[in-house]
Amino acid sequence: MKAGAENSLSIRVRGQVQGVGFRPFIWQLAREFGLRGQVLNDPEGVLIEAAGAGIDAFVAAIPLRAPLLARVDAVEVAPFDGELPEGFEIAASRGAGAETRVTPDAATCPACQEEIFSPGRREGYAFTNCTHCGPRFTILNGLPYDRAKTTMAAFPMCDDCRAEYQDPADRRFHAQPVACPVCGPRLWLWAEGREVAGDAVAETAGRLLAGEIVAVKGLGGFHLACDATDSEAILRLRQRKRRPAKPFALMATLAMIRSHALPSPEEEAYLADPAAPILLLPSRGTLPEGLAPGMTTLGFMLPYTPLHHLLMRAVGRPLVMTSGNLSGEPQVVGNDEALEKLAGFADAFLCHDRDIARRLDDSVERLTAQGPMVLRRARGRVPGTLPLPPGFEGAGQVVAYGGQMKAAICLLKNGQALLSHHLGELDEALTYEEFLKADADYAALFDHRPERVAVDLHPDFRATRHGRARAEVQGLRLVEVQHHHAHLAACLGENLWPLEGGKVAGIILDGLGLGPDGTVWGGEVLLGDYRGYERRFWLNPAPLVGGDRAQAEPWRNALVRLDQAGLADWADRLFPDQPRDPVRQAAAKGINAPLSSSAGRLFDAVAACLGLCPARQSYEGEAAMRLEALAARAPSTEGSYEFESSGTEIDPRPMFTALHADSLQGIAPERIAARFQIGLALAFANQARRLVESGEARAVALSGGCFQNPGLLAATVAALGDVPVLIQRKVPANDGGLALGQALIAAADTG
């Protein structure tokens, strides 16, 4: 029947609208508003062709009532005069390349939570899910996203599950991983070389409460779990993992979190996000110090699979849930692999027979006064895409390979940036193998054929070598990007700063990145945009004596900075047992002592002066994180130490002089830490602000790993006053976001 005179429209919905229950939602909404017509998927998203008196109200309701996992970017309406069916139908997909979007894994929805704790066929079932929740990316073997291309292909649906799957009125309509105890995956507990008889969840809970460490197969890999209230179990886990101090992530219900931390209402809402990230929350100090030595925060996540919900209920207390891996290696995903590799860590193994297709760590995030902050971007966030800023509409396909640490790959295609999950530290051979796999995997999934390859300037990064080799073999254009220019561009990009938006002053406070002058940068004010930059101001450089050892041993950074400041005597008293003379000689002769303006190493130096792990850090960033935690305890009205700004250099010598004086006077270390942090923020903010006030820059952008310190971020934003500031909220400010900036710089490159 022809649509005719009645109000008849073609409605295009763009955004994350496939694989999230959008068509059944539209089907139900259309029936509610008495429309006839059809809804279907096509390469641009969802297309609705419909007619009826209620159509305007229907259009208005689409973004307001969209399903939990959907993200509606646009609803575009045009007149329609084609044929329409009598009723309202879900029609077949149209056009090649439809249903190419994959959504991130999502935490168990409230309806499924209720179902597993209520009488019925899924009571107590650990693999319950529906269209609004459950595994997605972690079970995906290929596109399009349907059951046959997931690790659920091994489990043919029973009649009851199939009926739900085929019913548009059911919340499991087209839920690819739908399952029940009759047809779906099975859980078992393995210990002492055999499958343990009885209920696997109850048996696991009993062992955890008895102080055992249990490897638990989750969504993106195995966790090692233990009772988070049991100091001895925590210590045992630390000893077995050879992880003396790095904070452990915790899983707990909201009620438990409230009794051990101080979440704000915003943080509580954020915990309940379908991504279910680990969120750093202020600790109440009621749990053992061994969970996060020296920290004022604890990283909590809510249970995010039915298995976790069942386990939490059975245990009734918070659990440590740390990645099941050998130090530095990728997280274990396979059952056999777990039994082999985690044998030395775990007393028992809670396994299941749904394979993990993609290894994904938990995402780590926090909320600050300046908004959300992503520390590690992984499960629940990938493969989400970011739109490109105005001016990049015509950008070709680009692949960018990031840095050596906190590796991540970025693909540009069709006006979108896809930033891969956190891939870890490429120093480790197995992690590098994972990186290569992820490269091939993302390229295949997103049918990516790059024209350009972007890499860091550092020739020895494994990611750089890989990108160079690929560019050469495939004849692609190679763009080498300075590390901190990439940080700046990543910040611009996520803030949708237009390609022609003009220059900004980038305050980049970071670890280490090679500069084109051959020195190591990391504390800079850059003036630039996607197309280029000038280095306008930088931290007065100091030698990194011993190269990598200068990174691991904070006292080395303190020694050279104190010597520069004329405080060699104090250094002698602070570090009596360290090999000071060889270090001083190497610094003087410049032997294995590259000059660096790194702000990260300045944090290490100050931390060592305050006695925070001076001899050796037990994990990367430990000294700076302990300093951050110390500063967070200071009164909010703390003063600051002045840096000297003359010419292009920002000189910390007066800061050390004042710090030394305070230390002699017995000023509390938390106040000293805060005064340093605020002084550093002021020194850089003042220079950047001048570039805006003189008209050279249009805004200030903040990036680099140091800005994951909320105290430093807040102090810098405060010091910038009413100058427009761009900060990173969705993409990590550390090297995890580097690839996005590299990709945008390569796309903008006209050379």
Query: Which residues are near Zn ion by CB under 5 A?
Result: 109, 112, 130, 132-133, 158, 161, 180, 182-183
**Which residue type occupies 322?**
T
Shortest Å distance, C-beta 334 to Zn ion:
25
Q: How many helices (H) and strands (E) does the chain have?
A: 23, 31
From the list 115, 143, 149, 117, the residue with the least C-alpha distance to 130 is 115
Shortest Å distance, C-beta 68 to Zn ion:
9
DSSP assignment of 89-128 equals EEPPP-STTTT---PPPBPPPHHHHHHHTSSSTTTT-TT-
Nearer to Fe ion, 130 or 508 (CB): 508
Nearer to Fe ion, 367 or 481 (CB): 481
The string over 380-403, giving b where at least 16 C-beta atoms fall within 10 Å of a residue's C-beta and e elsewhere, is: bbbbbbbebbebbeebebbbbbbb
Nearer to Fe ion, 510 or 638 (CB): 510
Stretch that binds Fe ion, among 133-141, 598-606, 628-636, 730-738 (CB under 5 A): 730-738
Binding at 183: pick from Zn ion, Fe ion, none (beta carbon under 5-8 Å per type): Zn ion
Q: Residue 531 — left, alpha, or beta (φ > 0 → left; ψ -120 to 50 → alpha)?
A: alpha
From the list 541, 536, 515, the residue with the least C-alpha distance to 598 is 541
Kindly state the tokens that stand for 749: 């490159």
Nearer to Zn ion, 95 or 110 (CB): 110
Nearer to Fe ion, 212 or 735 (CB): 735
Kindly state the tokens that stand for 99: 């249903």
Stretch that binds Fe ion, among 94-102, 220-228, 509-517, 639-647 (CB under 5 A): 509-517
The string over 278-312, giving b where at least 16 C-beta atoms fall within 10 Å of a residue's C-beta and e elsewhere, is: bbbbebeeebbebbbbbbbbbbbbbbbbbbbbbbb
Distance, in Å, from the CA atom of 437 to the CA atom of 578, rounded to the nearest integer, reads 42
Binding at 161: pick from Zn ion, Fe ion, none (beta carbon under 5-8 Å per type): Zn ion
Q: Is 510 in the site for Fe ion (CB under 5 A)?
A: yes
Binding at 112: pick from Fe ion, Zn ion, none (beta carbon under 5-8 Å per type): Zn ion
Distance, in Å, from the CA atom of 167 to the CA atom of 161, rounded to the nearest integer, reads 10
Shortest Å distance, C-beta 484 to Fe ion:
7
**Which residue type occupies 660?**
H
Stretch that binds Fe ion, among 143-151, 508-516, 550-558, 686-694 (CB under 5 A): 508-516
Nearer to Zn ion, 161 or 624 (CB): 161
Binding at 630: pick from Zn ion, Fe ion, none (beta carbon under 5-8 Å per type): none
Nearer to Zn ion, 130 or 509 (CB): 130
Shortest Å distance, C-beta 129 to Zn ion:
5
Distance, in Å, from the CA atom of 628 to the CA atom of 144, rounded to the nearest integer, reads 45
Q: Is 524 in the site for Fe ion (CB under 5 A)?
A: no
H helical segments located in 565-598: 568-574, 580-589
Looking only at Cα atoms, what is the longest distance across the chain?
A: 93
Please tell me what DSSP assigns to residue 331.
P
Stretch that binds Fe ion, among 28-36, 392-400, 437-445, 731-739 (CB under 5 A): 731-739
Nearer to Fe ion, 345 or 461 (CB): 461
Binding at 226: pick from Zn ion, Fe ion, none (beta carbon under 5-8 Å per type): none
Q: Which of 17, 185, 735, 737 binds Fe ion (CB under 5 A)?
A: 735
From the list 655, 573, 551, the residue with the least C-alpha distance to 606 is 655
Distance, in Å, from the CA atom of 700 to the CA atom of 506, rounded to the nearest integer, reads 6
Binding at 514: pick from Fe ion, Zn ion, none (beta carbon under 5-8 Å per type): none
Q: Is 628 in the site for Fe ion (CB under 5 A)?
A: no
Nearer to Zn ion, 24 or 493 (CB): 24
Shortest Å distance, C-beta 36 to Fe ion:
56
CB of 382 closer than 8 Å to CB of 138: no
Please tell me what DSSP assigns to residue 558.
H
CA 727 to chain centre: 15
Distance, in Å, from the CA atom of 573 to the CA atom of 663, rounded to the nearest integer, reads 13
| Three-state SS letters, 231-246 | HHHHHHHHHHHCCCCC
Shortest Å distance, C-beta 134 to Zn ion:
6
How long, in residues, is the chain?
A: 751
Shortest Å distance, C-beta 159 to Zn ion:
8
Nearer to Fe ion, 49 or 735 (CB): 735
Kindly state the tokens that stand for 572: 């002698």
Kindly state the tokens that stand for 370: 């300046």
**Which residue type occupies 136?**
R
Shortest Å distance, C-beta 179 to Zn ion:
6
Binding at 712: pick from Fe ion, Zn ion, none (beta carbon under 5-8 Å per type): none
Nearer to Fe ion, 226 or 727 (CB): 727
Shortest Å distance, C-beta 495 to Fe ion:
18
DSSP assignment of 35-54 equals -EEEEEEETTEEEEEEESTT
Binding at 735: pick from Fe ion, Zn ion, none (beta carbon under 5-8 Å per type): Fe ion
Nearer to Zn ion, 109 or 747 (CB): 109
Tell me how many residues contact Fe ion (CB under 5 A): 2
Kindly state the tokens that stand for 85: 């069916």
Stretch that binds Fe ion, among 199-207, 360-368, 502-510, 580-588 (CB under 5 A): 502-510
Binding at 510: pick from Fe ion, Zn ion, none (beta carbon under 5-8 Å per type): Fe ion
Binding at 158: pick from Fe ion, Zn ion, none (beta carbon under 5-8 Å per type): Zn ion
Shortest Å distance, C-beta 423 to Fe ion:
15
Nearer to Fe ion, 485 or 536 (CB): 485
Distances (CA, A) of 407 to 367, 391, 419: 23, 27, 11
Kindly state the tokens that stand for 477: 């254009």
Shortest Å distance, C-beta 485 to Fe ion:
11
Shortest Å distance, C-beta 110 to Zn ion:
8
Binding at 508: pick from Fe ion, Zn ion, none (beta carbon under 5-8 Å per type): none
Binding at 130: pick from Fe ion, Zn ion, none (beta carbon under 5-8 Å per type): Zn ion
From the list 708, 709, 691, the residue with the least C-alpha distance to 700 is 691
Binding residues for Fe ion (CB under 5 A): 510, 735
